[in-house]
Amino acid sequence: MLHRHLPIRASLLLAALVFTTPAWSADAIHKETVELTAGQAALSVKGKIKGYATAEYTLAGKAGQTLGVKLKTNQRSNYFNLRQAGQEDALFIGSSGGNSYEATLPADGEYTVQVYLMRNAARRNAVASYSLEMRLRN
């Protein structure tokens, strides 16, 4: 009699595993499009992230323009990455490159600056207040 219920129990367990949402998937991603014009004063945005949450700022750039990004933060485990749309590898990884970036953009298109906390701070649910300064030059 007990063996007849094993397939039902196994099915329920499998359903629970498949339909359970991992805790980290519920973390917020703040997405914002920013308008940068070459030659204008730097654009500064302020924000806060907590735990595994991230903030993503997307901007349009052209090949040959110089993009500068600087992060000021109260949390030493707070960094940013820079990604070019359609590319798998990041152009810049803050955890190894620091909190400032300046380089010539390789192609026309969208670029995303992703602000995040390193895992050591994220798993403690740390909070980072930051200011992100972005500038585009011809």
In this model, does residue 113 exceed pLDDT 70?
yes
**Which pLDDT band, with edges at 50, 70 and 90, does 17 fall under?**
very low
The two tokens of residue 101 are 């970036």
pLDDT for position 5: 53
In this model, does residue 8 exceed pLDDT 60?
no
Total-model pTM:
0.80
100 vs 90: CA distance, rounded Å: 15
Query: Domains in the chain, please, with CATH?
Result: 24-137 (2.60.120.380)
**Which pLDDT band, with edges at 50, 70 and 90, does 93 fall under?**
very high
89 vs 108: CA distance, rounded Å: 17
Instruction: Classify 98 as helix, strand or coil.
Output: coil
Tally of CB atoms within 10 A around 67: 22
Q: What percent of the chain has pLDDT over 70?
A: 81
Q: What is the mean pLDDT of residues 119-137?
A: 97
Tally of CB atoms within 10 A around 37: 9
**Which pLDDT band, with edges at 50, 70 and 90, does 66 fall under?**
very high
43 vs 126: CA distance, rounded Å: 26
Asked whether the beta carbons of 106 and 58 are under 8 A apart, the reply is no
**Which pLDDT band, with edges at 50, 70 and 90, does 131 fall under?**
very high
The two tokens of residue 56 are 């993503």
